[in-house]
Chains A and B, each alone.
Chain A
Amino acid sequence: MIRTPALRRRLSFRRKTRKVILNAIGVIVALVTLFPILYMVSTSFKPSTEIFSLTPHLLPEHPTWSNYVQVINGSVIGIPYLDFLRNSLFVTLVAVVVSSLVALLAAIGLARFRFRLRSTYLIMLLIVQMLPQQGLVIALYLDFRSLNLLDSLTGLIILYIAFALPVTIWMLRNFVAAVPRDLEQAAAIDGAGPVRVFWNVLLPLVAPGLVTTSVFAFIFAWNEFVFAETFLGLDQPKYTLPIYVTYFFGKGAANWGDIMASSVLFTIPVMVFFLIVQRRLRSGMIAGAVKG
C-alpha cells in the first residue's frame, strides 16, 4: 500500500476517531458499573424525608451523618455496630491466619514432593470447591448441633477455615512452585535445617503469594452469609456484619438510610483491601481460575 500524505491523514483521522469512540465507551462502562456503588453511598447520607420522597435525587440535597450515627451507636438494633464489627473481625482474622498456615503446609507438600496420593488430593481439591454450600449447610447444621457449636463464633471459624482451603491451597501451590528450588538447596548445603530453610528462604519469597491468598480467604469469611444466617439464628449479639446488614431488610418498613449506611461500613474494608492488592490480585485471580 502506498501511503500518500492524504491517505496518511485519513488514516490518522480514523485512528483518532476510533480512540475517541473507544474512550467514550470506556467511560460509559465505568459509569454504569460505578453507579450502584455511588448511589449506595449517596443514599447513606440522605435524611429519611429525601429517601421516601417521590423524586429520587442522585445526590443528597441535605447530606446528614444521622444514618451513620444511628448505625454506630446501635439505636436501630439495640447493640452498637462496633460489637458486630468485632465479631466479624475476630471470625475473619482467625480464619484467615489459620487457613493460610494450613494451606501453606499443604502447598509446600504439593509443590515440593512427588507422592502417590498427590493427584488424588488435587482432584479432591477441585471437587470440594464445587460442593454447594446450601446443600452442605443441612448436614453441617445437624453435626454442629450435636457438637454444641451452633450459636457460636468458634463454629463459624472452623467452617470458614475449611471452606477457604481449596482455593487458597490451589493458588499457593503455584506461588511455592515458583520459588526456585536451588535457593533452598543452597541454604541446606550451608547447613540450614528444614525449619530454617522454611523461615529464612521459602517464607519471605512466598510472602507476596500469602498476601494474595489471604485476601481471598478474608473476602470469603468477611462476606459469608449462608452459614452465619443459619447457625447464629436469633442470637443477635453474635451476629456478624452480613447478618446485621440484612437484619432490617425485608422486615416491613425498611429504613434504607440505615441499611445503606451499615452496608457502606461493611463494604469499605473489602474495597480498601482490593485497591491495595489490586495488581497482584489480578494475576492471582487468573492463577486460581486458569492455570497461568
Chain B
Amino acid sequence: MLGSQKRAGPPPASSPTVTANGQWRSPLPVRFLVGRKTRRLAAPYLLLLPSAALLILLLLWPTIQIGIYSFQNYGIPQVLGTMPTQWVGFANYSQIFSDPEFWSSLKISVVFAVIVVPLTLIVGTLVGLLLNALGRRMAAFVSTTALLAWAMPPVSASVLFVWLFDPDGGVVDWTLARIPSWLGGGAHWAGYNWTTSSAVPAYTIVLLLVVWQAFPFIAVSVLAGLKMIPSELGEAARVDGASPWRSFWSVTFPILKPIFMVLLLLSVIWDFGIFTQAYLVTGELGNRNEYNLGIYAYDKAFTTPPSYGLASAMALILTLVLLVISIWYVRANVKQGATA
C-alpha cells in the first residue's frame, strides 16, 4: 500500500544524521523546520480557503445583499442606473404585509408543511419498520424500489405527476370516475382539473409527490437506526407482553429520538421551502391563488416590472423563518457531537 519499502534510492530524509563532532543534526536546515511549523499552522486555513471563498461569495454575500435590497426601492431603473437607489426603510415590508396575496401564500406554505411533514415521517417510519421486519431479499427489493422514487429528479417527478392527474387522458381521473361513489369516486371526476383550478387540489398533487419522493429517505434512515438497537430489547418488551404499539413508543422511539429530531427538522425545512415541484405543478407563474411563499417571492422578482426590493424583503422573511428552524437543526447536530 505504502510502496515506500519497494523504493530504492536515497535513505529517508527525515532520519537524523550524526555529524563528525558527535552531535545529532537534522538533515534539513533549521530555516526549513521553522517554515514547516508555520506551514503546519497555516495549512488548515489554506485548505479551507477555496471552499470558504466560494461559500462566502455565492451563498453568504447574496443573503446579505437580499437584506440590503429589502430596505431599498430596487427595480430595473436602479439596476440600469437611470434612477438612484433610495433607502425606503420598512416600506417594502409594510407593502408585503398589507398584500392579501402574501397572507394566502403564507397560509399555503404553513398548511402544506403542517400536513406533509407528519405524513412523510409516519409513512417513512412505517416503511422503515416494515423493512426491518422483512426477510433480507424482500427488504432489498422494497428498499431498491423506494430509492428509485427518491432518485427521480424533482423535475421529472413533477411533470410525471401532472401527467398522471391530467384532465384529458390522465390515469387518476379515469380511475376515480370508475370508483363507486361511496368510496369517494364518481363520474364527476372525469376531466377534473387538478392543477390550475384552485390551491387545494394542486397541492394535493404536490403532497403525494413529496411523500412519494421523501419517504424512502426517512425509511432508510429509520432502518439504519433500528439496526443499531440490540434485538434483546424488543424481545424483552415482547416477553413482558407489550403490544407492538407500546414497544415502539417505549423502546424504539426513545432510542431513535435523535434521528427523528434531525429528520423532522430537515423535512420542515424542505417542505416549508418547497419550490420546484410547487412551481411546476401549479403551472409556473400566473396562478396567483396557488402561490406559496417561495413562488410569491420569485414572482415579485421575475415578472415585469420586477421589484427586487419587494422580492428581497419576501426572500429575507422566508430565509429568516428557515434559519430559525436551522438553528434547532444546528443545535441538534452540536448536541450529537457532529461539530466536534
Indicate if A75 sits at the interface (CB-CB under 8 A).
no
Docked Cα-Cα span, A223 to B297, in Å, equals: 22
Indicate if A290 sits at the interface (CB-CB under 8 A).
yes
Tell me the residues in window 178-233 of chain A with beta carbons closer than 8 Å to chain B beta carbons: 183, 186-192, 200-201, 204, 219, 222-223, 225-226, 230
Q: Is the CB of B58 within 8 A of A36?
A: no
Closest to B143 in A: A282
Indicate if B149 sits at the interface (CB-CB under 8 A).
yes
Question: Which chain A residues lie closer than 8 Å to B111 at the CB level?
Answer: none
Indicate if A78 sits at the interface (CB-CB under 8 A).
no
Tell me the residues in window 226-274 of chain A with beta carbons closer than 8 Å to chain B beta carbons: 226, 230, 242, 245-246, 249-250, 256, 259-260, 263, 266-267, 270-271, 273-274
* Residue of B54, B153, B336 touching A165 (CB-CB under 8 A): B54
- Rounded to whole Å, the gap between the CB of B202 and the closest CB of chain A is 13
Question: Which chain A residues lie closer than 8 Å to B54 at the CB level?
Answer: 102, 161-162, 165
Tell me the residues in window 33-60 of chain B with beta carbons closer than 8 Å to chain A beta carbons: 41, 43-48, 50-52, 54-55, 57-60
Given contacts A25-B130, A33-B146, A109-B44, contact A130 B220 (CB under 8 A): no
Indicate if A105 sits at the interface (CB-CB under 8 A).
yes
Docked Cα-Cα span, A247 to B207, in Å, equals: 23
Question: Which chain A residues lie closer than 8 Å to B51 at the CB level?
Answer: 102-103, 105-106, 165, 169
- Rounded to whole Å, the gap between the CB of A258 and the closest CB of chain B is 11
Q: Is the CB of B13 within 8 A of A145?
A: no
**A to B CB contacts below 8 Å, 6 in the list:** A33-B212, A130-B269, A132-B319, A135-B315, A135-B319, A256-B169
Among A124, A134, A162, the most chain B Cβ lie within 10 Å of the Cβ of: A134
Given contacts A122-B339, A245-B155, contact A191 B52 (CB under 8 A): no
Q: Is the CB of B333 within 8 A of A291?
A: yes
Q: Is the CB of B141 within 8 A of A30?
A: yes
* Residue of A36, A119, A128, A191 touching B4 (CB-CB under 8 A): A191
Q: Is the CB of A54 within 8 A of B169?
A: yes
> Which size bracket describes the interface of B in this complex?
35 or more
Given contacts A126-B326, A139-B63, A291-B337, contact A33 B149 (CB under 8 A): yes
Instruction: Give the 6 A-B residue pairs with the shortest CB-CB distance, closest first.
Output: A191-B12, A109-B47, A135-B315, A139-B62, A113-B44, A162-B58
* Residue of A132, A166, A274 touching B315 (CB-CB under 8 A): A132
Given contacts A162-B55, A271-B148, contact A106 B262 (CB under 8 A): no
Indicate if B117 sits at the interface (CB-CB under 8 A).
no
Across chains A and B, the number of contacting residue pairs, with CB separation under 8 Å, is 310
Indicate if B16 sits at the interface (CB-CB under 8 A).
no
Indicate if A142 sits at the interface (CB-CB under 8 A).
yes
Q: A53-B169, A130-B322, A163-B58 are in contact. List 13 more A-B contacts (CB 8 A).
A: A115-B41, A130-B326, A132-B294, A133-B275, A136-B62, A138-B315, A139-B62, A143-B62, A223-B155, A263-B156, A282-B147, A289-B266, A290-B263
Closest to A31 in B: B145
* Residue of B50, B159, B168, B337 touching A52 (CB-CB under 8 A): B168
Q: Is the CB of A159 within 8 A of B58?
A: yes
Indicate if A137 sits at the interface (CB-CB under 8 A).
yes
Given contacts A140-B62, A286-B224, contact A190 B55 (CB under 8 A): no
Q: Is the CB of A29 within 8 A of B329?
A: no
Q: Is the CB of A106 within 8 A of B47?
A: yes
Question: Which chain B residues lie closer than 8 Å to A158 at the CB level?
Answer: 58
Residues of B within 8 A of A (CB): 1-5, 11-14, 41, 43-48, 50-52, 54-55, 57-63, 65-66, 69, 79, 127, 130, 133-135, 138-139, 141-149, 151-157, 159-164, 166, 168-171, 174, 212, 216-217, 220-221, 224-225, 258-259, 262-263, 266, 269, 273, 275-276, 280, 283-284, 294-295, 297-298, 301-302, 308, 311-312, 315-316, 318-319, 322-323, 325-326, 329-330, 333-334, 336-339
Q: Is the CB of B153 within 8 A of A242?
A: yes
Q: Is the CB of A39 within 8 A of B323?
A: no
Given contacts A102-B50, A187-B4, A278-B144, contact A124 B162 (CB under 8 A): no
Question: Which chain A residues lie closer than 8 Å to B160 at the CB level?
Answer: 36-37, 39-40, 260, 263
Question: Which chain A residues lie closer than 8 Å to B318 at the CB level?
Answer: 132, 134-135
Indicate if A59 sits at the interface (CB-CB under 8 A).
no
Residues of A within 8 A of B (CB): 19, 22-23, 25-26, 29-30, 33-34, 36-37, 39-40, 43, 51-56, 102-103, 105-106, 108-110, 112-113, 115, 117-119, 121-128, 130-143, 145, 158-159, 161-163, 165-166, 169, 183, 186-192, 200-201, 204, 219, 222-223, 225-226, 230, 242, 245-246, 249-250, 256, 259-260, 263, 266-267, 270-271, 273-275, 278, 281-283, 285-286, 289-292
Q: Is the CB of B148 within 8 A of A130?
A: no
- Rounded to whole Å, the gap between the CB of B80 and the closest CB of chain A is 10
Q: Is the CB of A36 within 8 A of B323?
A: no
- Rounded to whole Å, the gap between the CB of A146 and the closest CB of chain B is 8
Question: Which chain B residues lie closer than 8 Å to A134 at the CB level?
Answer: 273, 275, 294-295, 297-298, 315, 318
- Rounded to whole Å, the gap between the CB of A53 and the closest CB of chain B is 7
Docked Cα-Cα span, A260 to B338, in Å, equals: 42
Q: Is the CB of A131 within 8 A of B322?
A: yes
Given contacts A131-B319, A285-B217, contact A219 B280 (CB under 8 A): no
Closest to A215 in B: B151
Given contacts A36-B161, A190-B2, contact A128 B55 (CB under 8 A): yes
Question: Which chain A residues lie closer than 8 Å to B50 at the CB level?
Answer: 102, 105-106
Question: Which chain A residues lie closer than 8 Å to B152 at the CB level?
Answer: 37, 267, 270-271
Docked Cα-Cα span, A30 to B302, in Å, equals: 41
Q: Is the CB of B308 within 8 A of A138?
A: yes
Q: Is the CB of A127 within 8 A of B224?
A: no
Question: Which chain B residues lie closer than 8 Å to A131 at the CB level?
Answer: 59, 63, 319, 322-323
